[in-house]
């Protein structure tokens, strides 16, 4: 079966698990509460990694929750009906996840004190990671080749639209007190300090053993074994067996995939679209 995209307000969404009415309802009516913590990412930027870290911080390093409950229940998708249902049923403090671009995000956020953690990643690695996911996940339109996916990504014809627009929108919030901006690259380089920063931001004090547990249990090799976060428990009609949400987990994999011409094209587009930002805001070259 071939899937296309689901379109809402000019933005492509995956087909499975989504419908226009739910997305519309979330974007226009969802009420964000002051005590919510919201993970916002462009797909393939380290969403599950950050979710695992925040869940572990919330449970003070105890692993029972993340090892017994699917990650999409621990921290549910705002833009899906199922996700909203889990959020409304949750008896814990809510931990929301969303890939929505800034302009579609529920407006109740802007009058709330909810905490937003936005993680960004080198868009070239996002592109490569997305290529592997969308070619193997049976949720959406599939590219026939890397070359084709490269073109779609530059045009913003991929789930959740343009990376450039996503980052532009959310960067406008970066100086707000209730927004923490992180990068996949910094999390790789110094996970302990980044996790400490997150703890401070969400107001959770962890002792050194608890912090060690968060660090260990959110590491790539442990997450790869955790069926609740690596999507191994998704039914086979949605995911091919060999796809893993924890694929390589490295920085710079784009160098193994881009041709010289693609690297030049990307560089040119990047320079044009990101011209207004200070260079040192982003930790990639
Ligand atoms: P790769 O495909 O480059 O390996 P998302 O969760 O937003 O879909 O992002 C997926 C990317 O995050 C994948 O990148 C995945 O391997 C990486 N990732 C997931 N858990 C990780 C971890 N604990 N450490 C490092 N990278 C991780």
Give the CATH number of the domain where residue 126 resides.
3.40.50.300
| Closest Cα to atom 8 of ligand 1 | 44
Q: How many domains does the chain have?
A: 1
| Closest Cα to atom 24 of ligand 1 | 220
* Residue 67 falls inside a structural domain: yes
As a whole number, mean pLDDT of residues 11-16 equals 88
What does the pLDDT read at residue 140? 80
Q: Distance from the CA of 196 to the center of ligand 1, in angstroms? A: 20
Q: Where are the beta strands (DSSP E) in the chain?
A: 6-8, 11-13, 37-41, 76-77, 95-98, 115-120, 179-183
Compute the distance between CA of residue 167 and CA of residue 78 in angstroms, rounded to an integer: 19
Q: How many CA atoms lie within 13 A of 22 on its CB side?
A: 17
Q: Which of 40, 43, 44, 130 to mutate to test the pocket of ligand 1 (most atoms within 8 A of CB)?
A: 44
Say yes or no: CB of residue 108 within 6 Å of ligand 1. Answer: no
Say yes or no: CB of residue 36 within 6 Å of ligand 1. Answer: no
* Residue 114 falls inside a structural domain: yes
* Residue 142 falls inside a structural domain: yes
Say yes or no: CB of residue 227 within 6 Å of ligand 1. Answer: no
- Strand, helix or coil at 125? helix
- Strand, helix or coil at 126? helix
* Residue 61 falls inside a structural domain: yes
Sequence-distant (≥ 6) Cβ neighbours of residue 111 within 8 angstroms: none
Place of tokens 């959110």: 218
Ligand 1 atom closest to the Cα of residue 43 is 7
- Our CA dihedral for 110, 174, 214, 250, rounded to 10 degrees, sits at 130
pTM over 0.85: yes
* Residue 112 falls inside a structural domain: yes
Taking only the tens place, the pLDDT of each residue in 76-102 is 889 988 888 888 777 778 999 999 999
As a whole number, mean pLDDT of residues 213-218 equals 97
* Residue 191 falls inside a structural domain: yes
What does the pLDDT read at residue 279? 84
* Least confident segment among 137-141, 227-231, 242-246: 242-246
Number of CB atoms found within 10 A of residue 187's CB:
22
The answer to whether residue 202 scores a pLDDT higher than 90 is: yes
Compute the distance between CA of residue 267 and CA of residue 180 in angstroms, rounded to an integer: 27
Taking only the tens place, the pLDDT of each residue in 20-43 is 999 999 999 999 999 999 999 999
Domain span at residue 132 reads 6-281
Helix orientation angle between 123-136 and 146-155, rounded to the nearest 10 degrees: 120
* Residue 1 falls inside a structural domain: no
């Amino acid at each position: 079966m071939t899937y296309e995209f689901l379109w809402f307000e000019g933005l492509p969404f995956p087909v499975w698990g989504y419908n226009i009415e739910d997305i519309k309802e979330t974007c226009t009516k969802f009420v964000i509460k002051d005590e919510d913590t919201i993970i916002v990412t462009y797909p393939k930027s380290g969403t599950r990694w950050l979710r695992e870290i925040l869940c572990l911080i919330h449970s003070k390093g105890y692993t029972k929750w993340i090892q017994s409950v699917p990650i999409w229940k621990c921290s549910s998708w705002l833009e899906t009906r199922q996700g909203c249902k889990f959020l409304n049923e949750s008896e814990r403090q809510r931990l929301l996840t969303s890939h929505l671009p800034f302009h579609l995000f529920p407006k109740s956020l802007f009058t709330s004190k909810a905490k937003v953690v936005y993680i960004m990643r080198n868009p070239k690695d996002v592109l490569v990671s997305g290529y592997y996911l969308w070619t193997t996940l049976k949720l959406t339109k599939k590219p026939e080749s890397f070359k084709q996916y490269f073109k779609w990504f530059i045009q913003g014809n991929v789930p959740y639209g343009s990376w450039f627009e996503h980052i532009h929108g959310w960067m406008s919030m970066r100086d707000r007190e209730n927004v923490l901006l992180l990068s996949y690259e910094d999390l790789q380089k110094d996970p302990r300090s980044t996790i400490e920063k997150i703890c401070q931001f969400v107001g959770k004090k962890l002792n050194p053993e608890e912090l060690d547990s968060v660090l260990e249990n959110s590491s790539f090799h442990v997450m790869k074994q955790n069926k609740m976060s690596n999507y191994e428990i998704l039914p086979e009609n949605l995911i091919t067996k060999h796809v893993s949400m924890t694929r390589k987990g490295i920085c710079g994999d784009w160098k193994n995939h881009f041709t010289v011409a693609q690297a030049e094209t990307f560089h040119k587009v990047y320079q044009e679209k990101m011209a207004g930002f200070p260079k040192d805001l982003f930790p990639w070259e």
